[in-house]
Amino acid sequence: MNMYLDSFALSGRVALVTGATEGVGQYIAFGLADAGADLVICGRRRDALASVASKISEYGRRVETCAGDLTELREIERLKSFVLERLGRLDILVNSAGYAVTKPAWEVSEEDWDQTLDISFKGLFFCCQILGSIMRQQNYGKIINLGSTLGRATVAGRAVYSGIKAGIAHLSEALAVEWAADGVRVNVLAPAAVMTPSRVEILKGKFLADMLNRIPLGRLAEAGDLARAAIYLAAPASDFITGQTLYVDGGLIAHG
């Protein structure tokens, strides 16, 4: 038995990843499966979920899909019932679902505000509450909320997104303190810009040059960087870690 290395394994654990149809959420789901977890993946698009599930099954793990709109509490309750009926427990929750508006703050509409808040903050909180209640009954669980370096640093055009990501970090601290007695750990995974296939067109030119100038390690985050960090926060290796924000940013926040 390799005492320390084994503490990073997720064999026998059940993980649920929201926003798993693309981007960071998808790659975190792949990483958790590779580390041994069985998966429930959630998103709005059934066809996209089926595609991701097919790839996860290649890791030899069980995977279930549940499409739904997580801005609706009844849908989160339905997801909770689905998890319990299909897998009987929940050890890891990754709240990756989100929505971002990129426009000057002067131009943000009420519709922009409501949609961003509902998906990225309201949905996240009630997933923590409703799905976390399974962990409370088990007296053990790991919640990983997807944050961002924009919760600390800012760029033009992302005022609402930045405010919500700062809120997620502080909310997660509050939940970590309140739920520690229930054995539920709550942490935040906060990347800088992540190079995923869906963002190749965005992350180029002057924007890319500006980002690289702010990152001491000289490159953008890759999906695998986030997946490996998520495995750590999900695994027994981090059982004494709660209420923290783990920046996966190549030193951007430290650089200032």
Strand order in the sheet with 92-95: 63-67, 38-43, 14-18, 92-95, 141-146, 184-191, 245-248
Contact yes or no for 144/230 (Cβ under 8 A): yes
Instruction: Confirm whether 161 is a catalytic residue.
Output: yes
Catalytic option among 27, 99, 161, 247: 161
Q: What distance in Å separates the CA atoms of residue 114 and residue 63, rounded to the nearest whole number?
A: 32
Torsion of CA 4, 143, 98, 119, to 10 degrees: 180
Q: Which two tokens stand for residue 15?
A: 């993980």
| Per-residue exposure over 223-247, b if at least 16 CB sit within 10 Å of its own CB, e if not | bebbbbbbbbbbbebbeeebbbbbb
Q: What distance in Å separates the CA atoms of residue 233 and residue 8, rounded to the nearest whole number?
A: 9
Query: Which residues form the catalytic set?
Result: 161
